[in-house]
Chains A and B, each alone.
Chain A
């Protein structure tokens, strides 16, 4: 899909979420769903299978999210899946998150951790990243077991890697 179309979808989702007054919540839920979509082969293949009717795929979304997400988030994802743009969902969501962050004069900070962070840890980490980058950050935490331990934080083009995975890879390369 062209960048213009992705931006168009992202702008549409953004405007709907803002109109609903649930932008922060929807943005966060979309971000987490997009990361789950990227990391789960089963989910990806189910939602992109052309042999499954769009209505069936939308039903899968309903079953998956159900009470775990706001109805706005569920409907927005169903809309993207129903329009046959499932493969572009991560790019659309990233664009939406960047747009939402820019609206709040924030920089998206994607944080990958092997375990979930507490609210306090997220707060202190956001402050630390703001201090380190000089930019106010919109923290997005992704639980990624492949990190093994520690954290990988990406703010714009800056990557701060404190993961066990990277240290092991460095050790392996020395071996």
Chain B
């Protein structure tokens, strides 16, 4: 049974059961007669009174969403700017790192060169001092040796001379002195 047959036959049934609707789909005719205008009235009233509110709410929601979109766009732009700054800063940091490394390398090279120069100078100075000390020690030892030889020689001379000075030698020395002095003339000696 088509939909149209159902609509047509609905009103023609002789044994109509009041507990059953004439159509399983459509209401009663009189219900349609009052229901449609009432529905239209309700819709009209809704359109008249609720429509502006709904429209206003929708506009507000649209504006809010647009504002959120704008804020998101602004945040994205700001993030991009910040990102650019960070990338720039990162580039600066890299160049600063390279500069610091270059400075540190240069300073290390300078210190190394200076240290080498200083150590070389200190080594030369130490060598010179060692040579001087050795020479001084040699001289000192030589002097001490000469002094010791002189002392021993003096002692040997003393011992030899005093040992050989007997009475005859004393008398010979005295007589020699008297003769030598006697041979001098007054004013001749300085």
Chain A residues with CB under 8 Å of chain B are 113-115, 117, 121, 124-125, 127-129, 131-135, 148-151, 153, 158, 160, 162, 164, 168, 171-172, 175
A160 to B181, CA, bound (A): 8
Return the CB mask of B50-89 against A: 1 if under 8 Å, else 0.
Answer: 0000000000000000000000000000000000000000
- Contact A164–B165 (Cβ < 8 Å): yes
A148 to B174, CA, bound (A): 12
Q: Which residues of A contact B161 (CB under 8 A)?
A: 148-149, 164, 168
Return the CB mask of B169-190 against A: 1 if under 8 Å, else 0.
Answer: 1100111111111101111110
Q: Which residues of B contact A134 (CB under 8 A)?
A: 186-187
Closest 6 CB pairs of A and B: A134-B186, A128-B182, A162-B177, A132-B184, A128-B181, A150-B173
Residue of A nearest to B179 (CB): A128
How far does the Cβ of A115 sit from chain B's closest Cβ, in whole Å? 5
Chain B interface helix/strand/loop/mixed: helix
B154 within 8 Å of A by Cβ?
A: yes
Q: Which residues of A contact B169 (CB under 8 A)?
A: 149
A129 to B179, CA, bound (A): 10
Residue of A nearest to B180 (CB): A162
Instruction: Name 9 interchain pairs, CB-CB below 8 A, sorted by A.
Output: A114-B165, A127-B182, A128-B181, A131-B181, A132-B185, A164-B165, A164-B173, A175-B154, A175-B157
- Contact A162–B173 (Cβ < 8 Å): yes
How far does the Cβ of A132 sit from chain B's closest Cβ, in whole Å? 4
B101 within 8 Å of A by Cβ?
A: no
A128 to B149, CA, bound (A): 40
Residue of A nearest to B188 (CB): A132
A115 to B157, CA, bound (A): 20
Q: Which of A117, A124, A132 lies at the interface centre, i.e. has the most chain B CB atoms within 10 A of its CB?
A: A132
Q: Which residues of B contact A135 (CB under 8 A)?
A: 186
Given contacts A149-B169, A164-B173, A171-B157, 12 further A-B pairs with CB under 8 A are A113-B174, A115-B170, A124-B182, A125-B177, A131-B184, A150-B176, A151-B174, A153-B181, A162-B177, A162-B180, A164-B165, A168-B154
- Contact A148–B165 (Cβ < 8 Å): yes
Q: Which residues of A contact B149 (CB under 8 A)?
A: 175
A11 to B74, CA, bound (A): 135
- Contact B150–A172 (Cβ < 8 Å): yes
B109 within 8 Å of A by Cβ?
A: no
